[in-house]
Structure 1
Amino acid sequence: MVQSKRADVAIVGAGIIGLSAAFRLQQAGRQVTLIDKSGIAQGASFGNAAALAFSDVLPLSAKGMMAKVPGWMLDPLGPLSIPPAYFPQILPWLVRFWRAGWRDRREAGIAAQVALMQLASTEMADLTLAAGTDHMVRSNGSLELYESEAEFNASLPGWAIRERYGIGFEHVRGQELSTLQPGLASRFAIGTYVPQWQTVAEPYEFACALADAVMGQGATLVSQSVTALAPNNDGVTVSLEDGGVVQAAQAVIACGAWSKTLTAGLGDSVPLDTERGYNTTLPSGAFDLKRQLIFGGHGFVVTPLDQGIRVGGAVEFGGLKLKPNYARSDAMLKKAADFMPGLKTTGGKRWMGYRPSMPDSLPVIGRSKASPNIVYAFGHGHLGLTQSAATGRLVTDLVQHQTTPIDVAPFRADRF
């Protein structure tokens, strides 16, 4: 016998995006049912780089990545890897990625990202205060590092764009650089300090603390896979893998890399693919790390956490079924040891997660073409944690049929 549950708003996905939307919807007086096969924050929200990167407004295609791709591809453990068998599948995504870097689309994309980031900054401050998680946010800034004058000079156009939008930063050398982060290898003589950049003490614990606030306000959690959503006369039918259904007045799709199949069933074909990100988390005492370090030329970051130090990043396109290649984690850790002499590399825990990425580096936020009662919130790539509170605010306004604080047209599902 098919079991049917009733819900006010059903949110498919209990990661940081779904939890932020749930919290905001509860503040608006709505009852929330979270549906996630794995439970709370078991996807990209579990082991990400912990950054609240509000200044990261440039699309990846505008950071000179296309010029770096051929060289990176020659290194199977480098910043970008695509298994040969997966290349035909990812090729349309790569073409759209390349096109998003053209001037006619790049400027519009940056403007949309700036608007979302500005909202993200104010909404995150408000959400963490309301949820009692503000003590888990650190405001130590970030330090991006360059190995040569040529690499530094190549970064300057991007910093000029940020300056145009009022984003603060400071280029540093010599003693200033050493003060911001002692113990770096001498090959790094130049850096850019971004004071606005924040991190959270530990991403999984941060998400769990928000989940505690959500559950404490009466939310329920259904631990099931969702196989389909369909509009009905009363709202939305959410079909579950065990044959049960949730009958909801409205629904939100916020299940990251797994969202594509559900939206396709609703008539929205989105070019969402999966960046498989790797990291190693070292125990406390591995290095006296003052703030997040960004090694852009090598595609990874090093982050101080309550539990230690996380070394991670890089991109591997391979879908949701390919087995993890933890040699990628090891390669980043080896580089980190070269860049940070004295780093203790023993006792680490390796992890791989799925980043849901769109070619233009903008998420999908908006209503489904199938029904105004279904709202999309996924595809944030490297910026899910950063943009979670802003997405929660926008989702709530869309569900409530209220005017959003920024234009959501740039994030619509059919923009391609």
Structure 2
Amino acid sequence: MSAPSRDVIVIGAGIVGVNIAAMLSENGHRVRVVDPEGVAEMTSRGNAAALAFSDIMPLASPKIMWKAPRWLFDPLGPLSIRPSYLPRLVPWLTRFALSSTPDRVEASIAAQSAMMDLAARETFALAERADIADLIRHDGSLELYESEGEFRASLPGWDRREASGIEFRHVRGGDLADLQPGLAGRFVAGTFVPGWKTVSDPRDYALAVWKHAEKFGAKLERRKVTRLELSGAKPVAVLEDRTELSAERIVIAAGAWSTRILKGTSAARIPLDTERGYNTTLPRGAFDLKRQLIFSGHAFVVTPLENGVRVGGAVEFAGLDAAPNYARSKIMLDKARDFLPGLDPSGGVEWMGFRPSLPDSLPVLSPLRERGDILLAFGNGHLGLTQSAAMGRIVTDLVSEKTPSIDLAPFRADRF
């Protein structure tokens, strides 16, 4: 017996939302995507372009808890909190600390590994179906270390990845220079991960996935949803102009804005916050970059794109409403010039995005407690692009009344 075809509203047109829309539409569901800005105009527009399927280690860990105190209140450091935002962030930080115990870290790694395996399969399969495989680059990544101490400190994490079947190799000297010519001499070692992928440009990739969704009938409405109405036979999305849109299923995939839409429901208490990330995209030719470079000691990356070089990353906690602090972009660009002496820093465009993050580094992927016809799909943190196809597959399975291929218990909305 075939699964029923349903009317579905997807709230959010970022990379997670468009992957959900594409797979729902492929499976015969009638899909409307509602977003005030359009496809990939917010966080998905300017991310670091990584398909980081090997990135299974949670941000919450004993290692980070050791480093965090000296980082947090440096306004230009790798991980910072604006002082005015600290009172609002205390509950999130408390849960972050609780998620950093060894047993919870292991549970998070196991859940993340299952999600990443699914994400890799579904990403490549969707890329083939949509004829966009040429937008995915298979150059691997190179993580760099400035001292033997920094390199040794990384080894337990690599041992854990090796136990999960992730391929990598540590490199030095000529091998390091071959993987990326032009590095500053300060780097004593690196780790090359051949399975790491990037996309040619994250916005272009999202638009290509959306074009595929449109072929199967998905529609986009540029409108703002402010809340849900749960009292009727069908769930209702209430728009800013008080217009109401109803459907048999509603999917909340609005990234860092998701809990604002869910106000008045049990999901409004999900500890979702935003790790604000900054970058500068330099023109094509700024540097002959062979692959994504990861400077983990400084929490930023440098990525080759189709039309330039992107320097960015780090984490700032300041909420959704505070003005950007582009001094953070400038400090990363200055560091990149030191690390890559031939880098031309001129002509760059600065940007800030809102990574939707939960304390245990896992997304929420489950029905709303009050009613099963509203599905929650958000909170992927740094891994929205990476996990978007897995999110699409799981949501499609749930809407189609199929059993998902991974255990969803670690991703339930009430786990906190």
* TM bucket normalised to smaller: over 0.9
Contact 2:119 2:390 in 1 (8 A): yes
Q: Amino acid of the residue matched to residue 238 of structure 2?
A: S
Shift of 1:368: 0.7
Shift of 1:76: 1.6
Number of the residue aligned with 1:331: 331
Shift of 1:62: 2.3
Number of the residue aligned with 1:4: none
Number of the residue aligned with 2:256: 257
In 1: Cα distance, 2:341 partner to 2:206 partner: 33
The 1:335–1:63 alpha-carbon spacing in structure 2 relative to 1, beyond 3 Å, is farther
Shift of 1:215: 2.0
Gaps of 5+ in 1: 1-6
Q: Amino acid of the residue matched to residue 118 of structure 2?
A: L
1:11-47, CA deviations, whole angstroms, 9 ceiling, x for partnerless residues?
Answer: 0000110100011111111010000011111111000
In 2: Cα distance, 1:74 partner to 1:385 partner: 29
In 2: Cα distance, 1:62 partner to 1:139 partner: 29
Contact 1:51 1:200 in 2 (8 A): yes
Contact 1:264 1:270 in 2 (8 A): no
Moved over 6 A (4+): none
Contact 1:63 1:158 in 2 (8 A): no
Shift of 1:70: 2.2
Number of the residue aligned with 1:215: 214
In 2: Cα distance, 1:231 partner to 1:128 partner: 36
Gaps of 5+ in 2: 1-5
The 1:223–1:74 alpha-carbon spacing in structure 2 relative to 1, beyond 3 Å, is closer
Shift of 1:232: 4.8
The 1:229–1:74 alpha-carbon spacing in structure 2 relative to 1, beyond 3 Å, is closer
Q: Which moved more, 1:8-17 or 1:74-83?
A: 74-83
Number of the residue aligned with 1:382: 382
Number of the residue aligned with 1:100: 99
Number of the residue aligned with 2:280: 280
Contact 2:26 2:213 in 1 (8 A): no
Number of the residue aligned with 2:373: 373
Q: Amino acid of the residue matched to residue 45 of structure 1?
A: S
Number of the residue aligned with 2:404: 404
In 1: Cα distance, 2:371 partner to 2:145 partner: 48
Q: Amino acid of the residue matched to residue 340 of structure 2?
A: M
Contact 1:256 1:356 in 2 (8 A): yes
In 2: Cα distance, 1:91 partner to 1:373 partner: 32
In 1: Cα distance, 2:231 partner to 2:220 partner: 23
Q: Amino acid of the residue matched to residue 402 of structure 1?
A: K
Contact 1:230 1:266 in 2 (8 A): no
Shift of 1:73: 2.9
Number of the residue aligned with 1:152: 151
1:148-177, CA deviations, whole angstroms, 9 ceiling, x for partnerless residues?
Answer: 010011111100110111001000000110
1:196-236, CA deviations, whole angstroms, 9 ceiling, x for partnerless residues?
Answer: 10000000011111111212322221111111113355421
Confirm or deny that 1:130 pairs with 2:129. yes
Matches within 5 A, 1:49-88: 49-62=48-61, 64-88=63-87
Q: Amino acid of the residue matched to residue 338 of structure 1?
A: D
Shift of 1:71: 2.1
The 1:275–1:250 alpha-carbon spacing in structure 2 relative to 1, beyond 3 Å, is same
TM-score by length of 1: 0.97
Contact 2:277 2:315 in 1 (8 A): yes
Task: Report the number of matched residues.
Answer: 410
Q: Secondary structure at the match of 1:313?
A: strand
Q: Amino acid of the residue matched to residue 266 of structure 1?
A: T
In 2: Cα distance, 1:31 partner to 1:48 partner: 29
